[in-house]
Amino acid sequence: MDKMVINGGKVLRGEARTSGAKNAALPILFSTLLAAGKHRFTNVPRLMDIDSTSALLESLGCKITRDGNNLDIEVGELTSIEAHYDLVRKMRASILCLGPVLTRYGQAIVSLPGGCAIGTRPIDLHLDGMKAFGAEIELKEGYVRASAKKLKGCTFLFETATVGGTENLMMAATLAEGTTVLENAAKEPEIVDLAEYLNKMGAKITGQGTSIITIEGVKALKPAEHRIMPDRIEAGTLLIAGAITGGDVKVTDCRPKDLEALILKMKESGFTIETGDDWVRVLPAKSWKSVDVTTAPHPLFPTDLQAQFMALMAVAEGTSVITETIFENRFMHVQELVRLGAEIIPKTRVAVVRGHKNGLTAAPVMATDLRASASLVLAGLVAKGETVVNRIYHLDRGYENLEAKLVALGADVRRAE
């Protein structure tokens, strides 16, 4: 079923539970490659990207057992050190197996991820980092071939703060000889979750969540158990779903601290937001005003909520300037929002959104990537008539049961062929 049909105009009310974070689960599942034995996880979201990760881990010799949101990984001696193109091309995050396999086995072969809808997304900093550990890197026939007798701890300064790069190097450093210092490291909460799991396995990491992370290499790691942190992007999407319909939605099982930048912007826009230890609630609003947003590394406004926030601004009062500083081609949703009647002028990295309160009308649209598909669903919730979002499978890469959660809140949403 690759379409979602949305009858807009329903006001959402009630509670929605946040699932486990995809972007925390992926690196944590790859980190199991560092230690033989049985790793146990709970709160793992059921998503296509988790299936892709599982398939890649299985291709390297791991055994995976899944029971709902519990997932066990039995890691033995790996039967392969090669991440094949067919598996890597489905999911860019597959590059995260490079650090663990290289540091444990002294060699790794990983397909280059290739292009992606939201920009070129290079991996040069992952590779420069591995070289700084003393690895030899060769790019041949579409593959990265990395080798080193033993990685050596180093000080590495990231030219750009990269989430995946920080995760890959942090994992590699756990078994490297000596101490590694990562400077200008990314500070995203998912990195903290990964560091917590690595430390449970016996790693010696400090400074996670700040721009300087120190890792003291250890001889070996052992498997552990972990509950995956809540998905802040899903929580933010559900909060915007409540807001855009003028509804009253409480998002539970999340961490309001991780959503600070979004909450700040929503308050500035005129929404009343309440928070508790593990919940956040948006109260009904008849109208809200346009505010400017610039995406930037955590703790600033996340690029992964830019498309969803743009849908909210498309029905705000006034004009909003949305600036994307992380990815150069992340306005693919603009033309589709325009099909729904939004007035948005995209420039390079900047989009000017002229809000039209009650201005959206249903149309067939096409999802181009994960967060773009969420933005179209949000716009569909307020567009008059029946909006059909094609290629909705993009949504399944990163949202667990979004339509069921929306339906429980009162939305009229269904899948169709």
Is 126 a binding residue for ligand UD1 by CB under 6 A? The answer is yes
The tokens describing 194, both together, are: 């990964």
Is 123 a binding residue for ligand UD1 by CB under 6 A? The answer is yes
The tokens describing 121, both together, are: 């997304």
The tokens describing 307, both together, are: 């498309």
DSSP codes joined into one string, 119-187: B----HHHHHHHHHTT-EEEEETTEEEEE-SS-B--EEE-SS--HHHHHHHHHHHHTSBSEEEEES---
The answer for residues whose C-beta is within 8 angstroms of residue 98's C-beta and 6 or more apart is 83, 108, 110, 126, 130, 144, 146, 168, 172
Q: In angstroms, what is the minimal distance from the CB of 184 to ligand UD1? A: 11
| Residue number with CB closer to ligand UD1 (92 or 250) | 92
| Residue number with CB closer to ligand UD1 (245 or 373) | 373
- Helix, strand or coil, per DSSP, at residue 260: helix
Is 125 a binding residue for ligand UD1 by CB under 6 A? The answer is yes
Is 326 a binding residue for ligand UD1 by CB under 6 A? The answer is yes
- Considering only residues 204-243, where is the footprint of ligand UD1 by CB under 6 A? none
Strands 248-252 and 13-17: parallel
Sheet containing strand 386-390, edge to edge, reads 364-366, 386-390, 3-7, 412-416
Question: Site mask, ligand UD1, residues 90-109, x = CB under 6 A?
Answer: --xx----------------
Is 124 a binding residue for ligand UD1 by CB under 6 A? The answer is yes
The tokens describing 302, both together, are: 């996340």
| Residue number with CB closer to ligand UD1 (5 or 326) | 326
Query: 360 with 319: CB under 8 angstroms?
Result: no
**Does an H or E element contain 225, and which?**
strand 225-227
Question: Site mask, ligand UD1, residues 294-313, x = CB under 6 A?
Answer: ---------xx---------
Q: In angstroms, what is the minimal distance from the CB of 268 to ligand UD1? A: 22
Q: How many residues line the site for ligand UD1 (CB under 6 A)?
A: 21
Query: 346 with 324: CB under 8 angstroms?
Result: no
The answer for residues whose C-beta is within 8 angstroms of residue 300's C-beta and 6 or more apart is 261, 294
Question: Site mask, ligand UD1, residues 168-207, x = CB under 6 A?
Answer: ------------------x---x-----------------
Q: In angstroms, what is the minimal distance from the CB of 108 to ligand UD1? A: 16
Does the annotation count 154 as an active-site position?
no
Is 258 a binding residue for ligand UD1 by CB under 6 A? The answer is no
Is 334 a binding residue for ligand UD1 by CB under 6 A? The answer is no
Q: In angstroms, what is the minimal distance from the CB of 272 to ligand UD1? A: 28
Stretch that binds ligand UD1, among 68-76, 163-171, 223-231, 386-394 (CB under 6 A): 163-171
Q: Which residue of 20, 165, 230, 247 would you call a contact of ligand UD1, by CB under 6 A?
A: 165
Stretch that binds ligand UD1, among 62-70, 115-123, 198-206, 308-316 (CB under 6 A): 115-123
By CB atoms closer than 10 A (0-12, 13-18, 19+), residue 47 is buried
How far apart CA 405 and CA 192 sit, in angstroms, is: 27
Strands 350-354 and 343-346: antiparallel
Measured from each CB, the residue nearest to ligand UD1 is 164
Is 23 a binding residue for ligand UD1 by CB under 6 A? The answer is yes
Q: Which residues bind ligand UD1 (CB under 6 A)?
A: 23, 26, 92-93, 121-126, 160, 162-165, 186, 190, 303-304, 326-327
- Residues assigned a catalytic role: 116
